[in-house]
Amino acid sequence: MTHAEAMELVNNHGGTSTQHVNRQTTMLVVGEEGWPLEANGQPSVKWQDANNLARQGLPLRTITESEWLHLLGLDETRTEIHKAYTPAMLSNLLGVSVHLIRRWDRAGLITPLRRVHRLPYFSFQDVASARRLSELLAQGVPRSEIERSLGQLAPLFRNGQRSIDQLEMLAHDSRIVFRDQHGLIEPASGQRLLGFDDDSPTTTEHVSEARSRLPMTDWSPSRPHEHWGFRDWFDQGRELLEEDAAEESIEAFRMCLMERPDEAEAHFHLAEALYRCGRSRAALERYHAAVEHDHGYIEAWTQLGCLHAELDEHEAALDAFEVALEVHPDFPDAHWHKGEILHGLDRTDEAIPHWERYLTFDNRGPWAETARQRLNAPESVHDIVAVDEA
């Protein structure tokens, strides 16, 4: 919900909205699209002002957006805040690449609410929190300052401890680490982090010397790695791809497919690497290989559809999206893309149900706004009756 929409709701229910907290303020509503932290890592100025006034005994209440909407009887709008989103939807909402969201998922920095045919669905708040915390750390804000602020704000939010865990992960390794029952571990290499604190250098225990990672520079598959198997080459390929070394990652994915040629996910990532190197036709074939080995791989079907559309092969694109929707009828991305292609082919009447369906999953992102605009356009109006006055 935008500030303008929130202010309109306040006015419609007999209240008075203000831009700043003052002694006449009786309620501060805190949005749930990420932590209310300033650029220096401290809680927002409004929250600090409200907290100070409350300590002085003024009847000022601080609540979350969900609690406020419940008070207004708008539980339908309230549930919108807690919907699950695909990586592509979150990429549009938050300006974070799908590639980075996948990396955070693998590292345990964000946790899917569910997976449907390999496709993860995430909480908006979980990903927004990871993005905000990583931004603050990248800007040089001390971890201790952010952690202190999170502790102050935690009573407001149900996911307070989760964000503190995310902060710990981000602070200890730029490549992201995750916590298991024995402590922190680097997911790509299997290296365990032992006995460290904020001021001491990190010590690592190599779980397997044979699995030590190759250097990111001057990499070549021709060097002897006789102990490497599928997982080693697969992890290497993904890491190279994350480092924008797409050409080198191609060779790593080919090596892992020599071990397990029927692994759909390896074909999928190889297709992505080929596409990023400008080899669209080769990428198309690998996406086809992915769905041949796993017919339910809906992300691969979606990429097939997008790539066919990019190559002006619109009927093939529509076919791919149709298969994705047969496998997962509630797949928001496929509804969106299929609607856009139909619209581009001047088949707007066929596109309308897909835009309407998409809006049941997302009501606030850029795709949602475009869908609303399309539906409100004159050519999308239904049931126009022509009257013969003769």
Nearest to 272, CA basis, from 264, 288, 283: 283
Task: Tell me which H or E stretch contains 203.
Answer: strand 203-205
Residues 311-323, mean pLDDT to the nearest whole number: 97
390 found inside a domain:
no
pLDDT value of position 176: 54
Neighbours of 11 (CB within 10 A): 11
* Whether 27 contacts 61, CB under 8 Å: yes
Residue given tokens 């009828």 in the structure block:
329
Nearest to 243, CA basis, from 214, 283, 211, 267: 214
223 found inside a domain:
yes
Neighbours of 388 (CB within 10 A): 4
Beta bridge partners of 29: 63
The range of the structural domain enclosing residue 232 comes to: 210-281
Q: What are phi and psi of 30, to 5 degrees?
A: -100, 125
Indicate whether 10 and 105 sit together in one domain.
no
Nearest to 19, CA basis, from 7, 37, 2, 33: 7
Check which CATH number belongs to the domain holding 215 and give it.
Answer: 1.25.40.10
* Whether 27 contacts 33, CB under 8 Å: no
pLDDT band at 311 (very low <50, low <70, confident <90, very high): very high
pLDDT value of position 83: 80
Give the E-state strand segments of 60-194 in sequence order.
61-64, 84-85, 114-116, 119-123, 178-180, 183-185, 192-194
Range ranked top by mean pLDDT from 97-111, 185-199, 370-384: 97-111
Choosing from 147, 181, 207, the residue where a domain stops is: 207
Indicate whether 104 and 191 sit together in one domain.
yes
Q: Report DSSP letters for 7-64, one per residue.
A: HHHHHHTT----SS--TT--EEEEPSSS--B-TTSSBPHHHHHHHHHHHTT---EEEE
Indicate whether 96 and 202 sit together in one domain.
yes
Using DSSP's 3-state secondary structure scheme, residue 331 falls into: coil
Q: Report DSSP letters for 233-298, one per residue.
A: HHHHHHHHHHTT-HHHHHHHHHHHHHH-TT-HHHHHHHHHHHHHTT-HHHHHHHHHHHHHH-TT-H
91 found inside a domain:
yes
Task: Tell me which H or E stretch contains 204.
Answer: strand 203-205
Q: Per the structure, how many domains does the chain have?
A: 4
109 found inside a domain:
yes
Indicate whether 269 and 313 sit together in one domain.
no
The CA angle 205-253-188, to the nearest 5 degrees, is 20
What's the DSSP call for residue 336?
A: H
Nearest to 324, CA basis, from 301, 306, 308: 301
pLDDT band at 275 (very low <50, low <70, confident <90, very high): very high
Chain-centroid distance of CA 348 in Å reads: 29
Sheet holding 119-123, edge to edge: 84-85, 119-123, 114-116
The residue among 364 and 92 whose pLDDT is bigger is 92
- pLDDT-above-70 percentage for the chain: 77
Indicate whether 323 and 218 sit together in one domain.
no
386 found inside a domain:
no
Indicate whether 200 and 276 sit together in one domain.
no
pLDDT in tens, 207-264: 333 334 444 444 455 554 667 889 999 999 998 988 788 999 999 999 999 999 999 9
Residues 133-147, mean pLDDT to the nearest whole number: 85
pTM over 0.85: no
pLDDT value of position 337: 97
Indicate whether 22 and 54 sit together in one domain.
yes
pLDDT in tens, 77-108: 545 556 889 999 999 888 888 888 988 888 78
pLDDT value of position 175: 56
189 found inside a domain:
yes
**To 10 degrees, the CA torsion angle through 215, 218, 223, 227?**
20
389 found inside a domain:
no
Check which CATH number belongs to the domain holding 194 and give it.
Answer: 1.10.1660
Question: What's the rounded Cα separation, in Å, for the pair 221 and 15?
Answer: 67
